[in-house]
Amino acid sequence: MAVMKFLCDTKRCIECNGCVTACSNSNSEALVWGIQRRRVVTLKEGEPGEASISVACMHCTDAPCMAVCPANCFYRTDDGIVLHNKATCIGCGYCFYACPFGAPQFPQKTSFGSRGKMDKCTYCAGGPVPDFSKEEVELYGANRIAEGKLPLCAEMCSTKALLAGDAEVISSIYRQRVAARSNPNVIWGYDPQTAADFK
Amino acid sequence: MHREPLYTPRRDLVAKYPTYQDRRVARLPTLYWSIQKEDYAKDFPVILTTGRIVEYEGGGEETRSNAWLAQLAREMYIEINPADAADRGIRNGDKVEVLSPTGAKVFVKAMVTPRVAVGESFMPFHFAGVFEGKSLGPKYPEGTEPFVIGEAANTAMTYGYDVVTQIQETKATLCQIKKA
């Protein structure tokens, strides 16, 4: 069984935000203006060693959101994709605190500051409602996995920095790239440094 | 051959690479030396250039009307080096006033970043719909106002025309930046 993952090659990411726009395009029915399930984070902006990485839900194998959810609304598909049920989500925000990637979004602002239903990257795999139903499109967005396609963000990435697919396959692609770059110390765009290196 | 821009902080390069004499291009009187001979750099010490950001295209009217792009870049800004910002008491995200030697001023947000060198600043040219701090939003025909409007960078760009094609100067000028 495949384990679907994202992997962003920070040596290739050019911070074009194409993945963010592709995501907005693919899931437009489920998103409101200003809410992005994916974002590009740039570190050391304008300095030597600048690196960008595209981040969304990483569909963790041991997902902290799933561990902390008091309403048990998360589930994992056979492909290892972490999805959630908006019908049972209570909008408590625990998943947002637990998530190391800031993936959960809370688009609705209602009175008393209540958050509304959580929304996050679905790996373009829809939700727990019937595939391609109107409800699925409006609540969760696209279901490209059911169409046999990968998420649109990775498909549209112009430099192929953002890879999506079976963990085995994309990690071997990444391994080949690192070998070709012959710089095995560079992982995720960083030369490992300690405080002594800055003196 | 290089000719120093009309508005320049490098008077030494003006001596070496002076611009043209004022002339008529076709029938249009066009100023060159009578602008360059003045030293504006004392009052306007920061070099200002304009350029692109990835979200928008051209004047941005179409791309700023696209929700998926407009949500990624919602405000007009000027990039300032941390040293210049510190001199002026400007912090990242502050509203600033950019003054041009022509007398124009634009009101934008400051992005304090080492991406620009000390003494240089950068503005993206994709914004329009605000003129010298005043929104032109109500002047758009009903329903056509883009999602994002902002000061047009070229308001603060200056006089200057190419000697052959009469294309306007949009890349090299001086400005002063003040906290608004």
pLDDT in tens, B131-150: 999 999 999 999 999 999 99
Residue ranges in chain A modelled with pLDDT below 70: 108-113, 182-199
| Minimal Cβ distance to B115: which of A24, A25, A46 | A46
pLDDT in tens, B8-58: 999 999 999 999 999 988 888 899 999 999 999 999 999 999 999 999 999
Average pLDDT score over chain B: 93
pLDDT at position A62 is 93
* CATH code at position A64: 3.30.70.20
CB of B23 within 8 Å of a chain A CB? The answer is: no
Partner B, chain A 13-32, Cβ-Cβ below 8 Å: 15-17, 20-21, 24-25, 28
pLDDT at position A186 is 57
Q: Which residues contact B128 (CB under 8 A, 6 or more apart)?
A: B59, B60, B61, B136, B149, B150, B152
Domains of chain B, start order? 40-179 (2.40.40.20)
Mutation pick from A14, A15, A23, A24 vs chain B, by most beta carbons of B within 10 Å, is A24
Mean pLDDT of B82-105: 95
In the three-class reduction of DSSP (H, G, I as helix; E, B as strand; rest coil), residue A54 is classed as: strand
DSSP conformational letter for A74: E
- Give the chain B residue nearest A34 (alpha carbons): B71
Distance (Å) from the C-alpha of residue A1 to the closest C-alpha of chain B? 35
Which has the higher per-residue pLDDT, A115 or B154?
B154
pTM of the shown model: 0.85
| Minimal Cβ distance to B69: which of A21, A34, A45 | A21
Quote the number of domains for chain A: 1
Q: Tell me which residue range forms the domain holding A51.
A: 4-198
Q: What is the number of CB-based contacts under 8 A between chain A and chain B? A: 27
